[in-house]
Amino acid sequence: MGSIFTTFIKCRIGAMILFNKLIILLSRIVPRKKMTVIIEQGILQGQYFKTRLSNKSYVRFLGIPYAKPPIQDLRFKSPVKHPGWSGVFKAFSEGNMCMQLDVFMTKRIIGSEDCLYLNIFMPQVEELDNEKKAVMVFIHGGAFSCGSGTLDFYSPDYLIDENVIVVTINYRLNVLGFLNFGIDECSGNMGLKDQLFALKWIKTNISAFGGDANNITIFGESAGSASVHYHLLSPQSTGMFHKAIMQSGCVFNPWAFNENHKKAAFKLAEHMGCQKDDPKEIVQYLLNVPATDLVKFSTLKLKFEGQRDILNFQFVPTVESDAVNEKFLPAHPEILMKTASPVPIISGLNDLEGMIIFADHHKPSQILEYHKTDKIRRLFESSYTDEVINKIRDFYFDNHSLMNETTKLENTCHMLSDVFFIKDFYRGFNHLLKNGQTQVYNYEFKFNGELNACKKLMFATRPNISSLKGACHADELNYLFYGQLFGFLPKLDSPEFRMCRTMCKLWCNFAKTGNPNSSDLSFIWNNTSTDDPKYLILDGDNTRMVDGLIVSSRTHFWENITKLAQLKQKL
């Protein structure tokens, strides 16, 4: 019965997506007013649209190539400047997404190696407005393995209503973006270097679109948030942006960095039939392997000795070899954080981040097995002692047999949230706070609204977890962006509508001035500090300031676990 229900729900979701795609297709044939912009590469033409909530005019330029296609001999190399075009480039449709496994629908390899494109959205104010606008550059998530800056998920209508320019970008993913053989021909972190190349392109060209090249905010969610953090740490990114917003991800999250990249690289070569040992020869061999075969390999559930079972990705950011000439990450993040760019930061979490991990469990019973010691042990790469594992079990599952199912689900979700997102959260910016170098604004998003798309999709296929209240990983995104694929729009004057308005006001105020506050908000968001920590709870009409650390008891617990584990390693 359960499989029949799941199939029915998936068919309904598929039908909804097909219908929305048809609407999108029909909208493209509507005649539209056009705008022409001249940049170094040539002449661009964009189209006028109206925002969905306020009916404000804006112009969008889609599918602008910001680098040469990284194909043939450029595969695995750092991005190269695009030579430009002759005539008028009609920026009316999005460029290819980068090659990846379609984890949502078809389970097939989609996208292209030719994928380094960006989209620009510029508001049009009726009255004469010559002032340069703040620029917000969004970096999408997807575990460095999937996703794109597509309108399907990231149409910035709500942000444009606040009179900012928004840019969304694509960057290389998984093996094509993060394979590391420690040589210039395959240095690792190509995806992060794509992002940086896009930032340089934006800084050079955004004034032609009415943007302020000296007021750029980078923001991202999940792997996009970790990417923002990497740019804060990388010496190469210094000066390319002026503010940063990190939503549910940092470089210290266990899924965002790989210290075993050499094993993964040589395993890939072996799997592709290359028996050579020299990295240059291996890379030359891999240049002739179809990209789809490389990506298929990167989607295998590879696991080396000592690695955890969940959120275990081999092709993600890594430290680059001394042999590489232009290193994006020249040292371990622990070292680089001491010299991080001191720009104003917003950094936050959702209260049920760990719910996203339930998606990996097809049997409902598997979700309720995390109270078992062996299951907990497999969450970690560190060889924690039995004493440490038992302390973790007792903290979340003491009196497990007396708990009702909702409490078991909540505690499981909290443990997974803490392990993969929350326990490392404060490490992401504490070094800046201790030195008093910049202002940091913390938030916890816990709004249980109708636009919580990720949670709604989880509930649709896993009704046994529908008793959980709060916000899943990525649920805040639909309050910042309109997603064409699912078409979730807030009803006027609903709590969801007001949450959209509040979040976009905060994010855009911060992008404009470095301060998220304004007189038209009913609260004041105070910045945090090491001596007086505080954060904003984003919870619809109940949005409010709270003193202390986010989930302070759990945060302190993991601080103590880290100290205990370090002590045990020394003995």
Q: Which residues are catalytic?
A: 222, 353, 473
Return contacts of 458-465, CB within 8 angstroms, 24+ apart: 458/355, 458/356, 458/358, 458/359, 460/9, 460/12, 460/13, 461/6, 461/9, 461/10, 462/358, 462/364, 462/367, 463/5, 464/364, 464/367, 465/355, 465/358, 465/364, 465/367, 465/409
Name the DSSP class of 482. Answer: B
Task: Report how many helices (DSSP H) and strands (DSSP E) the chain contains, helices first.
Answer: 17, 17
Q: Is 441 helix (H, G, I), strand (E, B) or coil?
A: strand
Q: Which residues pair with 229 in a beta bridge?
A: none
Residues 6+ apart with CB under 8 A from 227: 139, 192, 195, 220
Which residue in 164, 166, 165, 161 sits closest to 151, CA to CA? 166
H or E element, residue 19: helix 2-27
Start-to-end Cα distance in the chain: 54
Task: Please report how many Cα atoms fall inside a 13 Å half-sphere around the Cα of residue 338, on the Cβ side.
Answer: 4
- Distance CA(174)–CA(190), nearest Å, equals 10
DSSP letters for 167-222: EEE----HHHHH-EEEETTEES-HHHHHHHHHHHHHHHHGGGGTEEEEEEEEEEET
- Distance CA(190)–CA(170), nearest Å, equals 12
Do 250 and 424 contact (CB within 8 A), yes or no?
Answer: yes
